[in-house]
Amino acid sequence: MHSLDTKDIRILAILQKEGRIPMTELAERVGLSTTPCARRVAQMEKSGVISGYGARINAAQVGLTLTVFVFVELAEQSTRAVEDFTRQISAFDEVIECHLMSGSRDILLRIVARDLTAYDRFLERHMMQVSGIRSMTTSFALRPLVQRDTLPLA
């Protein structure tokens, strides 16, 4: 784990919200000159604290209006079974999150689709073909109440 000081935390907080900010402006806002600020950013990229950059896309604006949460219970609870499931499910672009869970369910998936028909097609063509699933429980999101794309750093 990379040791972060207050300047690093401030840099991360700004980059989360304004990933395209010019380095000179970022440096000014955190109270550094450009070169040391750029070095800090480069070090956090190298160490994996900053894992990448990208645009945040509004799913509904690109036609992905359905969010589905699927709890999966695996037929077998073993490292190999989880790895096999993960390998299979990773091939599906509709699966945007996959979490190993504690409790009675093994896996939680977050899936996006254009509509119920598209989700049904995904279920039949993909999910029902995945080996190692004992059961699935599906919940459809009605609307997000709180949705954040940033971590609580500062």
What pLDDT tens digit does each residue of the chain (154 aa) get? Answer: 668 999 999 999 999 999 999 999 999 999 999 999 999 999 999 999 999 998 889 999 999 999 999 999 999 999 999 999 999 999 999 999 999 999 889 999 999 999 999 999 999 999 999 999 999 999 999 999 999 888 998 6
- pTM of the complete model: 0.85
34 vs 26: CA distance, rounded Å? 8
Domains of the chain: 6-47 (1.10.10.10), 59-140 (3.30.70.920)
Nearest to 116 by CA among 72, 71, 64: 64
How confident is the model at residue 1, as a pLDDT? 61
Q: Could you tell me which of 68, 87, 56, 60 has the C-alpha nearest to residue 136? A: 68
Distance CA 149, CA 59 (A): 13
